[in-house]
Amino acid sequence: MPASTWGGPESNADEIYPVDLLTYLLKEMMLQFDAQGACIALHDERIGQMRIQAHIRFKNALAHSPQPSQSSGPLPKLSSNARRPTAKLESDEQELLQMSPTLHIPVVNSLRSRPPDESSADEVEDVDPQQNELFAVGSAYPIDQDLIGYTWHKNEPYAMRHEDYLAIFRTNYNYLQPIKADMLPSSYLVVPVRESHLMEEIRSGRRRSTVLGVILLYRVAPDAPGFQKERAEALNYVERIALYLQNEKQRYIRRRTNEYLRLLQSISTAFPSSVQLSELVERIYQFVVRIVDVSSLLLTLYDRDLDRLYDVLAIHSGQRVEGLAEQPTVRLKSERPVWNRITHAGRQALLFSPAQDHEKRLEYQELLTGVWGNQQDTESFLMLPMKMFNRVIGSLSLTSMRPNAFQPEEIQVLETMIQIVTVSIENANLYERDRSILNEARQREAQLAAINSALQSVSSVLNVTALLNNLVESVASVLKVELCAFFEPSPTNAMLFAHALYAPSSVQMVDDGSGLPVVTPQNKDERDEIIGLIQLPFQGTFLEQKVDEGFFYLDVEQLKELALHSNEEGAIFLRETGIEQMLMIPMSYQTQFMGFLAVPMPKGNRIFRPKDIGTLLAICAQAAGAIRNAQLFEQREAAYAELERMSKLKDEFLVTASHELRTPLTAIRGYSSQLQRQGSRATPQQIMKFATKIAVATQQLTNLVGSMTEAAQIGPGDQKIDLQIEPVQVYAATEIAVGMLTLNTERTVTLDIPATMWINGDAPKIRQVLTNLLENAIKYSYPETPIWVSASSLHLSEVEPLLTPDQVNPDSMLSQGDIPVVLVRVRDQSEGISPEDQQKIFEKFVRATRSLTTPIRGTGLGLYICRRYVEAMGGKLWLEKSAANEGSIFSFYLPQVTPPVDVAE
């Protein structure tokens, strides 16, 4: 039944009883009782009234009706005619008596198989309501109304003359407007069609009315006798008709049941597979409207977990309340106490008529209102609880404007449907629950896997930077964020600098002056370099006070505040990446603070769930240990490398020292043994010569030991050296240095030093540096080549580019400002120093590899000592240039000072 016909006044009696059958039964009865016309009214459950289903009369009866005086003529004939088919009816009666109520007897066929021209007097015609309005087909009678309603009510047969009928039932009969009828009956016989007793017993009172219908026979001849005597016989006769009708009804019910079963089968296969609520609701809707007459409908589901009631489908007076399946109206269970009571009480359907039963209407008022509108005036109300074992799943409520709209068979079918739906909803729920449990488990698994791999990646790496990179990347992937950084305190704790940054969206921390972050693909080294430049203030800020907290959030104001005191790159990081809130997790190992893991909150309303924070803290705790390990490992590696280097130095020292010691010692031993051997034979000249040789060798030894002591004294880098800082004239110092040269080689030393250049320093140390550089130049250059010493006045910023980074760290060079300096260069012409040696020669006891195989003396201490002295005086010393066969330039600078007034004068 399509939805559009809902609530339409339609009868279903003709679906149950074929008109042919009714016509046949009426005709047989007319013949039996000498009636010329007959009609049958059957109870229409949908409207609760008796409705006339068929009205027939003999054709020849109509021919005689205008002249009642003549009507007596055909009557006996009719009567005699009537006897003939009676024999047939008798045989039918036999069949009727034999048949069980459930057996189908093809009476209709037997009617049709009868030759139509057997007798023209037998021919019947349908009484057209247009010709005759009396008991017209389709007329319906409520109980007690008119002759039919009266007979129904009294459940007794009546015989009556037409005048009496008019007097009793047509009290407001208007003689001026006579009944529109081409033929008026003279007398009536009205018989109730009672439900068979047997059937009644079977049904045991489940049906309100035991009167299936009413049959009315009439005679038309005015002088025809009334039916008084035939009443009892008619009642008996009709009992057989009742059997026919009941049989038909059974067939109809069976047919419908079969249909329902087919429908049920289709939904039982359809429902469980449809786990989508909206689909399920749609099917329920389609199904219900095919089965019963419904004007309004309400499907309510109950969620046990949330203790909520959801109205997911509502039809209000044939109109569907849209969008409920997607957005149901939600009520707390406590808001619907009656609903609760009914659904929990049992599996029984609740059925009553709100319009008729005022008591129940009051009692169940709650069920009759709500999203499906006011149902308090409907004729039929049915509520089917949906239950699975004892669990309430929901309910389906229906109303109809028709009385008794919901019949037991239909309720049964609906109950079956509800059971199937309940199971499928429960399945869907279970499925949903399973799926969400599965999902959650999967998520948890994935998260665990992520944590695991995060932990693994942070634990398996012993390089701190790689480890921190893994950490920020893992955290970003676990939290599904775009940005994550690790900030580490600087050695002095003044600042926090980014040690690792995860920013896959390629927002690079580059400032091109436009104030916007520049999106540029960069190589890893560049990126790492830039990351290192991001610095945030630490000492004295609120961050410092929070290192002992578990975790905390920085809000916009705090981020602004930090950006204010950050360096440029730090400010860009905080400002340009549009961070509104940043989660900070301080990481410590035991009591040692290691840094902050900073996770900017993603934009939008997303927040980190406690679960996420928990995960994060676990990762951080693990990472802290791993970082500590990596740091220790790196420190140990560095210490190990230093040890290695020291051990190598020691070896080199032993080689150098033993060589350097052996040479003068050999000389001393040689000359002294010669002196011994020659004894008194030695001439004073010879003695003098040997003594001088011994003295020189001794001096060499003394020098060596002196250098060694000096080198040991000045110690490594940060040890303080006693200095007497004063203005020193570069030219004078160089001249003295040249004069101090102990090497007696004839070499030209060209000085290009303006006399006005003064430097700040310790004069003896400056001279020592110059002597050393000059001696080296002489020692290691080609013989007879000149040596140049030049001095120029420069600013520090001009010197900076001359420094080779692998030699001297230019860092903090300009920390005291771009001061004027004097740059002194010592240049020679030699084989040059191989690139591998260029850095090493400034180390203690290290000599260029080539020098170790030459007879040229050296300890490898000179350059080391010189560099230490120059640096102690605020300058730098380095190998500015050295090329094969061209020679080297050793340079140093010291702060320039204006010449002292007295000297200048």
Please report, for residues 494, 558, 641, 811, 857, the alpha-carbon distance to residue 699 in angstroms, rounded to integers and kept in the order given. 52, 70, 37, 40, 13
For ligand ADP, the closer CB: 499 or 827: 827
Report the residue number, 566 or 859, with the smaller CB distance to ligand ADP: 859
Q: How far, CA to CA in Å, does 890 sit from each of 295, 774, 867, 869? A: 108, 10, 11, 15
Q: How far is the CB of 871 from ligand ADP (least distance, A)?
A: 15
Contact 297, 313 (CB under 8 A): yes
The amino acid at residue 537 is P
380/776 with CB nearer ligand ADP? 776
Q: How far is the CB of 658 from ligand ADP (least distance, A)?
A: 14
Complex with ligand ADP: residue 386 or 667, whichever CB lies closer: 667
Smallest separation (angstroms) from ligand ADP to the CB of 660? 8
**Distance, CA of 188 to CA of 896 (rounded, Å):** 147
Residue 868 beta carbon to ligand ADP: minimum distance, rounded to whole angstroms: 11
> Do residues 224 and 72 touch, judged by C-beta distance below 8 A?
yes
Residue closer to ligand ADP (CB basis): 245 or 833? 833
Q: Which CB atom, from 624 or from 777, has the smaller least distance to ligand ADP?
A: 777
* Beta-carbon count within 10 A of 205 CB: 8
Phi, psi of 797 (to 5 degrees): -60, -25
Helix 277-291 / helix 408-459 crossing angle, nearest 10 deg: 170
Minimum CB separation of residue 671 from ligand ADP in Å reads: 23
Q: State the amino acid at position 146 in one-letter form.
A: D
Minimum CB distance to ligand ADP, residue 772 (Å): 6
**8 Å CB contact between 450 and 477:** yes
Nearer to ligand ADP, 777 or 823 (CB): 777
Smallest gap from Cβ 853 to ligand ADP, in A, equals 10
Minimal distance, residue 770 CB to ligand ADP, in Å: 13
Shortest reach from residue 863's CB to ligand ADP, in Å? 4
Tokens of 533: 């430049």
User: In the complex with ligand ADP, which residue's Cβ is closer, 74 or 862?
Assistant: 862
Q: How far is the CB of 765 from ligand ADP (least distance, A)?
A: 15
Q: Which H or E element spans position 879? A: strand 876-883
Q: How far is the CB of 823 from ligand ADP (least distance, A)?
A: 17
Helices and strands in the chain, H and E counts: 26, 27
Least Å distance, CB 780 to ligand ADP, is 3
Nearer to ligand ADP (CB atom), residue 312 or residue 778: 778
Q: Which of 723, 672, 715, 709 is nearest to 693 (CA)?
A: 672
**Measured distance CA(678)–CA(666) in Å, rounded:** 18
Q: Is 489 helix (H, G, I), strand (E, B) or coil?
A: strand
Closer to ligand ADP by Cβ: residue 149 or 858: 858
- Could you tell me the two tokens for 429? 């729920």
Give the integer Cα–Cα distance in Å for 556 and 515.
19
Q: Are the C-beta atoms of residues 161 and 189 closer than 8 Å to each other?
A: no
Give the residue with the Cβ less far from ligand ADP, 6 or 892: 892
d(CA 145, CA 151): 9
Residue 811 or 836: the one with the smaller Cβ distance to ligand ADP is 836
* Cβ-based nearer residue to ligand ADP, 725 or 751: 751
Q: Quote the Cα angle for 163-164-166, to 5°.
A: 65
Sign of the torsion formed by the C-alpha atoms of 846, 847, 852 and 856: negative
Dihedral angle, C-alpha 528, 533, 538, 542, nearest 10 °: -90
Indicate the residue among 246 and 776 with the shorter CB distance to ligand ADP.
776
Q: CB-wise, 127 or 711, nearer to ligand ADP?
A: 711
Q: What is the smallest separation between the CB atom of 761 and ligand ADP, expressed in angstroms? A: 19
Query: Smallest distance, Å, CB 809 to ligand ADP?
Result: 20
H-assigned helices in 741-845: 763-780, 796-799, 835-840
Coil/strand/helix, residue 292: coil
Minimum distance from residue 769 beta carbon to ligand ADP (Å): 11
Q: Between 425 and 877, whose beta carbon lies closer to ligand ADP? A: 877
Contacts of 852 (CB under 8 A, 6+ apart): 655, 656, 659
Q: Encode 233-251 in three state secondary structure.
A: HHHHHHHHHHHHHHHHHHH
Angle at 290 between CA 284 and CA 295, to 5 degrees: 80
| Residue number, 734 or 830, with CB nearest to ligand ADP | 830
Q: Which residue is nearest to ligand ADP (CB)?
A: 858
Q: How far is the CB of 708 from ligand ADP (least distance, A)?
A: 11
Cβ atoms of residues 674 and 689 within 8 Å: no
Q: How distant is the alpha carbon of residue 200 from its chain centre? A: 63
- Quick one: which of 599, 571, 575 has its CA closest to 587? 599
Distance CA 527, CA 508 (A): 8
User: Where does this chain bind ligand ADP (CB under 6 A)?
Assistant: 772, 776-777, 780, 828, 830, 833, 841, 847-848, 851, 858-864, 888
Check: CB of residue 737 under 8 Å from CB of residue 767.
yes
Among residues 556, 624, 614, the alpha carbon closest in space to that of 586 is found at: 624
Cβ burial 517-537 (10 Å sphere, 16+ → b, else e): bbeeeeeeeebbebbbbbbbb
Q: Minimum distance between the CB of residue 557 and ligand ADP, rounded to whole angstroms?
A: 59
